[in-house]
């Protein structure tokens, strides 16, 4: 259920309870309540994700490059794929 709907429901329930009995009021049956919402990345989180992705690619490229000598055909294909 949307949070705003829940807030409205809580306000309606609270209005029905006498003020002097409000502190003892209990709502039962919410033991398995799950709250979720779509998360939109902030510009900082987007940048962090991009940097992490670029660092992972750089590490893969570095692992494929030999210390000395040539590159195997398989490694060259993988490098081409990473550099796209």
CA distance 14 to 9: 9
State the helix-helix crossing angle for 43-64 and 73-82, rounded to 10 degrees: 170
User: Is the full-model pTM beyond 0.75?
Assistant: no
The three-point CA angle 56-80-62 to 5° equals: 40
- pLDDT, one tens digit per residue, over 64-80 is 877 777 778 888 888 88
Residue 43 or residue 6, greater confidence: 43
CA distance 17 to 36: 29
């Amino acid at each position: 259920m949307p949070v705003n709907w829940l807030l409205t429901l809580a306000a309606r329930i609270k209005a029905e309870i006498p003020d002097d009995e409000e502190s003892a009021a209990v709502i039962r049956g919410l033991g398995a309540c799950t709250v979720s919402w779509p998360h939109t990345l902030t510009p900082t989180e987007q940048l962090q994700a991009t940097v992490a992705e670029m660092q992972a690619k750089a590490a893969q490229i570095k692992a494929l490059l030999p210390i000395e000598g040539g590159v195997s055909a398989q490694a060259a294909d993988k490098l081409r794929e990473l550099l796209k």
